[in-house]
Structure 1
Amino acid sequence: MSKADTSAEAALSSVAVHVNQYNEPDEEHSKLLEPQSLTPTVTPSGQIRKVKSFTDTHKIRDVSAASGAASARCLRPYEQVTPYPEGSESGTNQYGAPSVRSLASIGMGCTDGRKMVIRRVPTSPTELFHLVRPPTPPDEDTASHESDCDEEEEDDETVHLKPRRPFWANKIQFVLACVGYSVGLGNVWRFPYLCYKSGGGAFLIPYFIILLVCGVPMLFMELAVGQYTAHGPIGALSQICPLFKGAGLASVVISFLMSTYYAVIIAWAIYYFFTSFKSEVPWASCSNRWNTAQCWVPFHNHTKPNGSQTPTEQFFEKKVLNISDGIEFPGGMRWELAACLVCAWVLVYFALWKSIKSSAKVRYITTTLPFLLIIVFLGRSLTLDGADKGLRFFFKPDWELLKQSRPWVNAASQIFNSIGIAFGSMIMFASYNRFDNNFLHDTVAVSLVNAVTSLIVGIFTFATIGNIAFEQNTSVKDVIADSPGLLFVVYPQAIAKMPASQLWAVLFFFMFLCLGLNSQFAIVEVVVTSIQDGFPDMIRKRLVYHELLVLCVCMVSLIFGIPHIIRSGIYVFQLMDYYAASLSITYLAFFEVVAIAWFYGVGRLSRNIKQMTGRCPSLYFRFCWLVASPALLLALWVASLVDYTPPSYRQYPYPAWAQVLGWTIASLSLLCIPVYAVVVIVRSPGNSWREKFRNSIRPTFICDCGINGCDICCSDSEPPDDKTTIN
């Protein structure tokens, strides 16, 4: 027997051993898998690159069973190529690639979580010999792949079965995206408005209770789900528990509805921003053509007359909105706002048209700069006369109000809006993380920044309101009627009395514009990512470029935002915010935590987290997921229904047909969960309804411990009794 035949036979036996049974490498052997040096090599394209040289590369790259487990650090467990289903065309599959008929052909090569490689089964003596004695390590394309794995150079036998999913270039980009959303409109616009509406200090107590019981644990849970599945909210929940795929769809629906009227807030900020460049800010006096006889300029120790309005109130309502008498009187289009709305969507489009590659760079400015301006305005507001009066209202709770459900429901709505829980934003952000990212640190950082920013903005706002109450010789709660335009009335009034008021106005509304864009980036990215995950074939065939998909989403959202910029637009705005974002969110959050913690299982999720971070979540997180968060969310949802009060704008009550319209808007997200659950059960395989239900709650391909070589995730834990099939 020749030397080559002997080597080939030895190689074949070695491959058989590895394919039939693979044992997890011990710690000492795993150290051999670390790169030892950089070796220059010439790629087939003629480029000279330095690649990492491995001591034991052949045992994890060219043996199929070993490649799936030993590379678990950079390979998501479910990203394993399985044999094609029966009935496929002989020799081919739906991608036009050769069919895989042998386990030895699965997982040849490496993946970075975005691309899968398949090679044919080696048969010749030379190929079998190279399995054991590889001539050179695979090439690494560091210019186009940001991955912790090395990737083999493509050749004619390589077929890409899965499109690459981009990663964040670094951890800072991910943290800035999360922080930018939490410090966006949710904190600067919505928090002061709901806090003022809910009685000031009476709002802070439920706010921080819900933050600790629901906010932080659910944020940690969503980051874990997004990072583990590498999908948006629809894809992630459908893989974890198909029965509750409707919860992911509902979050996308809410995000889309929010994007239509959040863009209107940005349009208002753009309008104020350009108006601030005038020689005198137009909201400082009553001498403008839009002012009426009820306009009253505040003077120190002069009580505000009944029925009067300040110049800032009249500028917002008479000039910016040109508000009509009710939602039943639509009036004409506000063309100035229409132009600002188009400008807002143009900014959003060019920030998102290259996916996270473009939006991440924009966030370096839109997230960091507003923090500096917030600190500046905080210092300025604390020096105003009467600031202490507003701060007492902000920090001193009215204990009687805590017996009502409204402050608790508003606090829950604010927590979810500011952090992005149940809106799909955090799941979407985490889906672009590397598999081994330690997101516990990110959870703590985002939660802490959110809480601190809420307090800073609250102090800034209520110090300013206290100054206005001092000037008007009235109580803080009577300064202005609670409305979505609170920010555009209180801040401009304080700015008008500052020296160089034009400069302060430009800085403030530029800051507000940046914060609004941060929020808008996140909720639009949720819609775009979900469409890409849900309809990949359609996107690939009809919308070849990512830019076209983003353009379509922006155009549709722009069209749906037009009703907000007619004369009755503020009434439509209030209706949308009340029913789409406040009433539905606790319901959606409840079913999300039930789907993940109860149906998928806290134990299984904990093992998945250990696989990614090396540590299991603490008892605090597991208790909140299993008991505290669902119980509190259910109680808040029931209380909001029992104490339901129709929305109103100032003293204007909405007609019955408008309330029906509001419930119709809410049902777009509310009905997603039960309707899609019925569809999933009906479509699930099984001979009985019980069997169909059991199949509908089974994870589709989430890797569980002890399955297909994934026992690396919980070496210290016993595999669960119920094995999950990887489809």
Structure 2
Amino acid sequence: MAAIKNILMKLSPAAKKSEDGRDMFSNRIQFVLCAMGGAVGLGNLLRFPSVVYNNYGLQFFIPYFIALFFVALPVLVLEIALGSVYRGGPVLAWHSNNKRAKGIGLAVVFNGYVVVTYYVPLLAWIMKYFSRSFQSPLPWKGQDLEEYFANVIVANTAAASTGSLNPDGSVASYTQYVGTGMLGETAGWAIFTWFVTWLCVFRGVGMTGRVIYVTMGLPLVLIIILIGRGVSLPNAGEGIKLYFATWRTSALESPQIWQAAFGQIFFSIGVGFGYFTSWASYCSSHSNAVQDALIIGFSNSAVEIIAAFSVFGVVGYLGIDPSSGTQLGTFVTGFITYPEALAQMPGAPFFSVVFFFTLFLLGLTSAFSLLEVMTTLIMDTNWGRKLPRWAVCTIVTVISALISLIYCTEFGLQALDAVDTYVNDVALFFTVWCETFAATSLYRCRDVAHQVGWPGYLIFTIGFAVAQGLGIRVAYGSTPGTGAGVGFAFFIVSSLIALFAARTPAIPGPRFFGNNQFLSRFWWVAFYPGHQLTRDMNVTIGVGKNWNIPFYWAVIMKYISGPILAIVLSFAYPKFTQQHMFDPIMIYGFSIVHLVLPTIVLGLLMPSWFNWIIPSEKVLLGDKPVAPLETIDNTNAIMRIGSEETGSAPPYEEPKMMETKSTKV
């Protein structure tokens, strides 16, 4: 028994401990690989080439890179920095940032947890293909792949009737489903996948840090094999030409390509699901968060751009073209188009095994990253820390497996499609919008009120949020140009009102903004929260040779990322009313993801209600002391910065600061 125990300890070592007693990765590369494992998944090998194909190739990269640089990377830096600085999962990190933002952390956990409960059954379909790949010829060769996927792999029962709408938009009839039975093979593979997922994380980052070398390294090797096979197929050049040598300017005029690009970058890189913050909390608080974020973001894009050559080689081989009206979906690429090509290749069983094993490993890294979000949430609490990690992880896994069985039924595909559609289109975009808003508008807002008063701050902040919603609403009722004009006009008017309602700050704004009292007022209400968050974060993560968060980071998040997210979020609602309002399962998916809204609002209005999730010794971290332009580290210690920032900072009143620090939640 002792020998067996020693072997198990070597295979699954306990994690290193940091000075505060928290588990730590053994080295930086383990964190980067785990974070990449969450990001690099099925969306890279399946969804990305499908989206590029449907949007006619090369010009897709214009909105794609705009989404990467102006939305995904700024938010990625935010999520990793929060985990590193505050040493906690999403809820603890957002509470430490601002006690009224902990509802955002809960929404992030909700997003990740909902996704993992349907992600594992999706991996079960992959394993059903994998288990059939050891036959020669492949069992689906010569068959209609759509029917094979529907009848054998998914095995769902067709709806008895399809619902419809009346001419006035009301529901005439609802879709009726008759199949409710459990599919034994799908459920069996799902339970197997849950067990493998549990094995990867039950011991913590000590175990996961070793597993990730296999679950990330091996898929990259297998992807290279698939690329070599894909580009060597007959007529593969036609597909690659469509990918990188076809330009259609007219496609950029359609909102579809912009929505597809932003949806892809969010689905692929994975901000808003919580695993970046959770994994980062197991790093040193002085980790190089900005550099890590860029490595992860660029690596994720590089993997999917390079891996797509494999799929486009198959597209050329099969002779399909988007101009013919043929569209590819995520499921179509992975479960129909690619298997069809595999069945026609020499050595079909070998390449089929490689393909589906690659998909499984890519999905597995995403699955255990998503599961870690909920585990970290519980382990961060007072009551969760009383249990060993393996027990918490086991309980979470068992409950998750039971929930996931709903997607292993005869209506599982429809349920999966419903939740997947709206957790990505609604919950994800709304939550990430709230992240950008809280980071750049709520952080240390009492400092702003201390300088210019609450009326000026609230009028500007509320006006900024309302302007986005009003502009989008008018755009749908009129034209996008009119909506943009109304939104900008409302923002300008509310900003002017805020400036007149604000008082002149005792500390002028820096540089240009300090030349005029109105410019100083504007700087405090428009830029101070994000400016101060940047400086406070850099106190911890910008030490030594680490990269600092650049000064323009918060400005991009607030005035570019946020409005873009609001626009993309608005696309989900016409889709529901026009296509899904008569489908009970779609109504379920649409309804359940809206739980993030009351959660975030409740956290904003009554933050103490969620304090039972926060460790007792860290409850006060959510109350930042009033200390205008003073930097604060993650333990709320004040660090004096001198007066060169503005040239006229008055002496700080120490008694007032101490009084504020003792304020109870």
TM-score range, shorter chain: 0.7 to 0.9
Is residue 552 of structure 2 the alignment partner of residue 625 of structure 1? no
Residue from 596, 609, 622 that aligns with 1:669: 596
Q: Which amino acid aligns with 1:354?
A: R
Classify 1:224/1:706 alpha carbon distance in 2 versus 1 (closer, same or farther; 3 Å).
closer
Match of 1:605 in 2: 533
The within-5 A match list for 1:451-470 is 451-469=301-319
How far residue 404 of structure 1 moved from its aligned partner, in angstroms, is 3.7
SS in 2 for 1:583: helix
1:530 aligns with 2:466: no
How far 1:647 sits from its partner (Å)? 8.6
Compute the TM-score of the two structures, normalised by the length of structure 2. Answer: 0.72
> What is the correspondence of 1:683-722 to structure 2 with a 5 Å cutoff?
698-699=623-624, 705=631, 710=637
Contact 1:258 1:581 in 2 (8 A): no
Deviation at 1:337, TM superposition (A): 0.9
1:405–1:636 CA contact under 8 A, matched in 2: no
**CA RMSD in angstroms, aligned pairs only:** 3.2
TM-aligned CA distance change 1:604 to 1:335, over 3 Å: same
- Higher deviation after alignment, 664-673 or 356-365: 664-673
Q: Is the 8 A contact 2:542 2:549 kept in 1?
A: no
Give the drift of 1:495: 1.7
Q: Distance in 2 between matches of 1:477 and 1:527?
A: 45
Give 1:481 shift.
5.5
Give the Cα–Cα distance (whole angstroms) in 2 for the partners of residues 493 and 476 of structure 1: 21
CA contact (8 A) 2:15 2:205 kept: no
User: Is the 1:583–1:640 Cα contact (8 Å) retained in structure 2?
Assistant: yes
Paired residue for 2:367? 520
Could you say if the C-alpha distance between residues 700 and 226 of structure 1 is closer, same or farther in structure 2, counting changes exceeding 3 Å? Answer: farther
Question: How many angstroms does 1:212 deviate by?
Answer: 0.6
| Alpha carbons of structure 1 residues 484 and 672: separation in structure 2 relative to 1, 3 Å | farther
Going from structure 1 to structure 2, the CA distance change for 1:264 and 1:194 (only over 3 Å counts) comes to farther
The 5-angstrom pairing of residues 352-431 of structure 1 reads 352-395=201-244, 396=246, 398-431=248-281
* Stretch deviating more after TM superposition (445-454 or 611-620): 611-620
One-letter code aligned to 2:194: W
Q: Out of 236, 241, 257, which is 2:93 matched to?
A: 236
Distance of aligned partners of 1:670 and 1:414 in 2 relative to their CA distance in 1, 3 Å threshold: farther
| Structure 1 segment 107-186 matched on structure 2, within 5 A | 146=16, 164-186=21-43
| 8 Å CA contact 1:410, 1:582 repeated in 2 | no
Q: Does the 8 Å contact 1:196/1:477 carry over to 2?
A: no
Segments of 5+ residues of structure 1 without an aligned counterpart are 1-142, 150-161, 287-309, 685-694
Shift of 1:324: 1.9
1:645-660 equivalences under 5 Å are: 645=576, 655-660=582-587
Contact 1:413 1:586 in 2 (8 A): no
Offset of 1:353 from its aligned partner? 0.7
Distance 2:78 2:24 in 1: 20
1:557–1:711 Cα change, 3 Å:
same
Partner of 1:573: 416
User: Structure 2 CA distance, aligned partners of 1:333 and 1:325?
Assistant: 15
Q: Of 343, 354, 366, which residue of structure 2 is paired with 1:496?
A: 343
Structure 2 vs 1, CA of residues 706 and 576 (structure 1 numbering), >3 Å: closer, same or farther? closer
The CA deviation at 1:317 is 1.4
Query: What is the aligned-residue identity percentage?
Result: 26
Q: Contact conserved, 1:267 with 1:341, CA < 8 A, in 2?
A: yes
Query: Corresponding residue for 2:616?
Result: none
| Alpha-carbon distance, 1:358 to partner | 1.4
Aligned to 1:79: none
Cα pair distance change 1:455/1:166, threshold 3 Å: same
Return 406-415 or 661-670, whichever deviates more: 406-415
Report how far residue 408 of structure 1 moved: 2.5
CA deviation vs aligned residue, 1:54-110 (integer Å, no higher than 9, x gap): xxxxxxxxxxxxxxxxxxxxxxxxxxxxxxxxxxxxxxxxxxxxxxxxxxxxxxxxx
Offset of residue 277 of structure 1: 1.5
- Counterpart of 1:492 in structure 2: which amino acid? P
Q: Contact (CA 8 Å) 1:193, 1:487: kept in 2 or not?
A: no
Task: Indicate how the Cα distance of structure 1 residues 639 and 655 shifts in structure 2: closer, same or farther if over 3 A, else same.
Answer: closer
Deviations 1:281-326 (A, max 9, x none): 111123xxxxxxxxxxxxxxxxxxxxxxx3x333211211123223
Give the 3-state SS of the residue equivalent to 2:575 in structure 1: coil
Measure, in 2, the Cα distance between the counterparts of 1:697 and 1:711: 15
SS of equivalent residue, structure 2 residue 22? coil
Q: Does 1:725 align with 2:626?
A: no
Q: Distance in 1 between matches of 2:405 and 2:610?
A: 39
User: Given the superposition, is the C-alpha separation of residues 267 and 463 from structure 1 closer, same or farther in structure 2, using an over 3 Å criterion?
Assistant: same
Q: How many angstroms does 1:148 deviate by?
A: 8.2
**Greater gyration radius:** 1
Q: Which residue of 1 aligns with 2:127?
A: 270
Structure-1 residue corresponding to 2:357: 510
2:49 corresponding residue in structure 1: 192
Structure 2 matches for 1:209-224, cutoff 5 A?
A: 209-224=66-81
Determine the structure 1 residue equivalent to 2:569. Answer: 637
Amino acid at match of 1:536: N
User: 1:445 offset after TM fit, Å?
Assistant: 1.1
Q: Any idea what SS the aligned residue of 1:440 has?
A: helix
Q: CA–CA distance in 1 between the matches of 2:102 and 2:327?
A: 43
Give SS of 2:181's match. coil
The TM-score, its normalising length taken from structure 1, stands at 0.66
- Which of 163, 179, 194 aligns to 1:330? It is 179
Is the Cα contact below 8 Å between 2:111 and 2:272 reproduced in 1?
no
2:600 and 2:624 map into 1 onto residues whose CA distance is 17
- Which deviations, in whole Å up to 9, do the C-alpha atoms of 1:572-601 show, x marking residues without a partner? 111111011232211111110111122212
- Please state how far the C-alpha of 1:196 moved relative to its aligned partner: 4.2
Separation in 1 of the partners of 2:324 and 2:599? 39
Superposed displacement of residue 379, structure 1: 2.0
**Cα distance in 1 between the residues matched to 2:46 and 2:149:** 15
Aligned-partner residue type, residue 176 of structure 1: L
Residue 564 of structure 1: aligned partner: 407
Q: Give the letter for the 1:426 counterpart.
A: F
Q: Which whole-Å deviations, capped at 9, do the CAs of 1:671-721 have from their partners, x for residues lacking one?
A: 32123222228999xxxxxxxxxx998448999626899566968975997
Instruction: Work out which of the residue numbers 407, 426, 437 in structure 1 matches 2:287.
Output: 437
SS at match of 1:354: coil
Q: Report if aligned partners of 1:409, 1:640 keep a CA contact under 8 Å in 2.
A: no
Distance 1:203 1:196 in 2: 9
Contact 1:610-1:713 at 8 Å conserved across structures: no
1:239, CA displacement in angstroms?
A: 1.3
Cα distance in 2 for residues equivalent to 1:260 and 1:356: 22
Q: What is the aligned residue count?
A: 526
| Separation in 2, partners of 1:577, 1:443 | 26
Rounded to whole Å, the distance in 1 between the matches of 2:569 and 2:641 is 37
* 1:525 shift after superposition: 0.3
The 8 Å contact of residues 367 and 514 in structure 1, kept in 2 or not, is answered as yes
Q: Distance in 2 between matches of 1:169 and 1:237?
A: 25
Supply the distance in 1 between the matched residues of 2:636 and 2:336 (Cα, whole angstroms). 61
- Aligned AA (1:568): F
Structure with the bigger RCO (C-alpha within 8 Å, sep 6+) is: 2
Measure the CA separation in 1 of the matches of 2:148 and 2:259: 32
Change (3 A) 1:661 1:404: farther
Q: Which is worse superposed, 356-365 or 578-587?
A: 578-587
Structure 1 counterpart of 2:575, one-letter code: Y
Tell me the distance in 2 between the aligned counterparts of 1:356 and 1:509: 27
Classify the secondary structure of the residue corresponding to 2:413: helix
CA deviation digits over 1:526-546, x for unaligned, max 9? 11101222x322x245xx221
Residue 618 of structure 1 aligns with an amino acid whose one-letter code is P
* Residues 202 and 696 (structure 1), Cα distance of their counterparts in 2 relative to 1, 3 Å cut: farther
Distance 1:546 1:591 in 2: 31
- Judging changes above 3 Å, is the alpha-carbon distance between structure 1 residues 325 and 706 closer, same or farther for their aligned structure 2 residues? closer
The answer to whether structure 1 residue 585 and structure 2 residue 428 are counterparts is yes
- Aligned AA (2:592): I
Per the TM alignment, residue 192 of structure 1 is displaced from its structure 2 partner at its CA by 3.0
